[in-house]
Every structure is written in C-alpha cells, then in structure tokens.
Amino acid sequence: MFNLESIIRPNVLKMKPYASARDEFKGAANVFLDANENNLGSLAGENYNRYPDPHQNKLKATIAEIKGVNPNQIFLGNGSDEAIDLLLRAFCTPGVDALLCLPPTYGMYEVSANLNDVHIDTVQLTPDFQIPVREVMQSIKPETKILFICSPNNPTGNSIDPESIETLLDNFEGIVVIDEAYIDFATAASWTTRLEEYPNLVVLQTFSKAWGMAGLRLGMAFGSEALIAILDKIKPPYNINEATQELVLQALDKTEVLKDMVEEIVQERELLVQALPQLSTVEFVYPSEANFILVKVKDANKLYNYLLNKGIVVRNRSSLKGCEGCLRISVGTLEENQELLKAIEEFGSKDNG
C-alpha cells in the first residue's frame, strides 16, 4: 500500500517552510513596509518592485478550471524541470535512495538525479519504445522512490501504453511521475483525469510546448493535495516571477488560439511523416504523438552536419542507445518544413541516398 508520509524524506517532513513577508500579514493595507522592496517604484515597470504572489493563487484558479482539477492539486514550477528537481528533493535521500527511468527518454531525470546524488536505475524501453513491465517491476528495490514515465516520450514521440502504466501505478509503492510535456499533441487523454484513483500519481505538464511560452518558464505538477503540499513547502518562495504570472494568466484566455495552433502543428507533423519516407536517405520514421519526429537515416552525423551548414538545426540523437542513426526533428512552420525536406532531398541526391 502506498503511504505518502513513509516516503517523504524525514528532514522534509520535519522542516518548516520559509514564511514570506506577505504570508505573515493577512488583511487590507496600503503601506507596505514589510518586505524590503523599493517603494519608489521599479525601473522595469509598474508592479515589478513588489514580490510576486508566492502561492500563484489567480493563476492556479484559472489553470484548475481549464484542467478540471482542484487548485490545491496544482504545483507551479519554474519550468517542469523545477518540479522534477523538487520531486527528487522531497522523496529521495541523497546517497541512499534511487529513481527508475526508462531510456531512451528525457535527459533531465538523470541530470537531476546526479545533481541530488540520487542513484539511477534504468530499464531500456522495448524496440517499439514501450515499457517492459515485468522487467520494470523486477528492477524496483526498497530504495526506489520515484519511477519516471514520459508519455508522449521524448525523444521517441510515441505515447506509452496506458495499461502498462496502470499496472505500474497499481503495483509500485513509490511515486509514479508521468511527464506529459507533449500531451496537447496526443490523442490519448491526460492522466490528470485519474488523480483521484492513484495517490502515488504525479502528472507533469508545461507551458513550454503547445502553449508556446518556453521563454516564460512555467511548468505544472498535478497530484493529490497532500503530495502537492510537500512540493509547495520546499519550493523557493517566489519561484514564479510576476511577469510570468501576468502573461500566462492573459494567455489562458486564448484556448481557441491554442487549439488552432495545435491543429496546425499536428497537420504539419503528419505531412512530414508522409513526406520523409519518400526521401532516399530516410530509413524509418517513428510514429509521433508529439510536436517532433524521430527519424532513422542512413548517416545521421553526416546529415546533421549537412543541415547545420544549410542553417537548419535538428537534434542529433544517434549516440543514444535505442536511437542509433536517428535525428529528432521538431515540427516547424510550413515554410521551415519545406526547407528541411528540400535540404534532406538534396543531401540524398549527392550520393548519400
């Protein structure tokens, strides 16, 4: 049985969070002399001399409506990368505990683990990038506190079979993190709809991909109220700056634009999926539910450099186990995708096909 208190790091369970100036005061006031701000104003603009809301209440209320969850089930981070780091800090004792991740996958789970001195166990995804569930269950040790699943997976682009995830949620007594950075481009429903069923489930999403706000750095973690309260307790008090809170709040009104952009990106993705296999240098195009495509080519390093010379940057993933010979290509605009296809075709026609 999953027991949240028993897997929180003892020091985290015991510690008191930082109490910010605005937390200690409740009520109405018009003279604020409590936070050592510059009361004359800001060189950057109207509100920026004041610290931002550490609880991001307005933002959370609106996100909660859009996502169909309770505001207390939302943690907001400086990118979902901050949520990944805080999950490790909350549940994994450095030098003692471990996390399990399933490569080829997003690299920050490993980087965060290394930074926090958390041991990493890995189980390679199957050749079609699904979870070998039995092997994963066998790799779980008493020290394994978190299992990271990325769906749709980066860099492979596929969604992970929900039945495999369900089996792991049912049988693993640690935290199962499902990283849904690319969920807006997928056909599968988000796991946020299953939070009530699984107290050990954390779902990560981000405003960096479909919402087009990578520069503002805002990521979300969804979980039970008790679990989210732990992340809130250990986060830096003002982790989401005022400009980000304001700009994202305005953008949340524009869900119609989001829908249109996602539709266009998915349409462009499908055009690339059809066009790429026609090119002589392309060996295989993996199915994608994300805004990028993993493509196996005849000479990945050579093609990568050829594209670079043409001013086109893609991601060379060919040194990654399971992705040998592969480039990961983000879906661009119609014009950018045409330029890419033309360049790959040219490469093939120069005896590289």
Ligand X SMILES: Cc1ncc(COP(=O)(O)O)c(C=O)c1O
Residues that bind ligand X (CB under 6 A): 79-81, 106, 150, 154, 179, 181, 206, 208, 214, 219
Name the residue with the smallest CB distance to ligand X: 79
- State in angstroms the smallest separation of the CB of 33 from ligand X: 36
Rounded to the nearest whole angstrom, what is the least distance from the CB of residue 57 to ligand X in the complex?
Answer: 21
Which residues lie closer than 8 Å to 323 by C-beta, 6 or more apart?
A: 104, 155, 156, 294, 317
- Token representation of residue 35: 């936070």
Give me the least distance between CB of 150 and ligand X, in Å please: 5
CB 154, min distance to ligand X, A: 4
Using the minimum distance from each CB to ligand X, give the nearer residue, 154 or 158: 154
Nearer residue to ligand X within complex by CB, 178 or 297: 178
Cβ at position 310, least distance to ligand X in Å: 24
DSSP state of 53: P
CB of residue 109 to ligand X, shortest distance in Å: 9
Nearest distance from residue 353's CB to ligand X, in Å?
A: 31
Nearer to ligand X, 219 or 282 (CB): 219
Closer CB to ligand X, 210 or 282, in the complex: 210
- DSSP secondary structure letters along 219-261: EEEE--HHHHHHHHHHS-TT-S-HHHHHHHHHHTT-HHHHHHH
Q: Measured from the CB atom, is 179 or 242 closer to ligand X?
A: 179
Residue 13 or 261: the one with the smaller Cβ distance to ligand X is: 261
Do the Cβ atoms of 238 and 52 come closer than 8 Å? yes
Map tokens 């039970």 to a residue: 224
Nearer to ligand X, 179 or 232 (CB): 179
Say which residues have a Cβ less than 8 Å from residue 23's Cβ, sequence separation at least 6: 54
Where would I find the H helices in 35-123?
A: 57-67, 80-91, 108-115
3-class state of residue 75 by DSSP: strand
DSSP secondary structure letter of residue 16: P
Look at the block and give the residue holding tokens 């919402």. Answer: 211
Q: Which of 230-253 are b and which e, b meaning 16 or more Cβ less than 10 Å from the residue's Cβ?
A: bbbbbbebbbbbbebbbbbeebbe
Grouping H, G, I as helix, E, B as strand and the rest as coil, residue 51 is coil
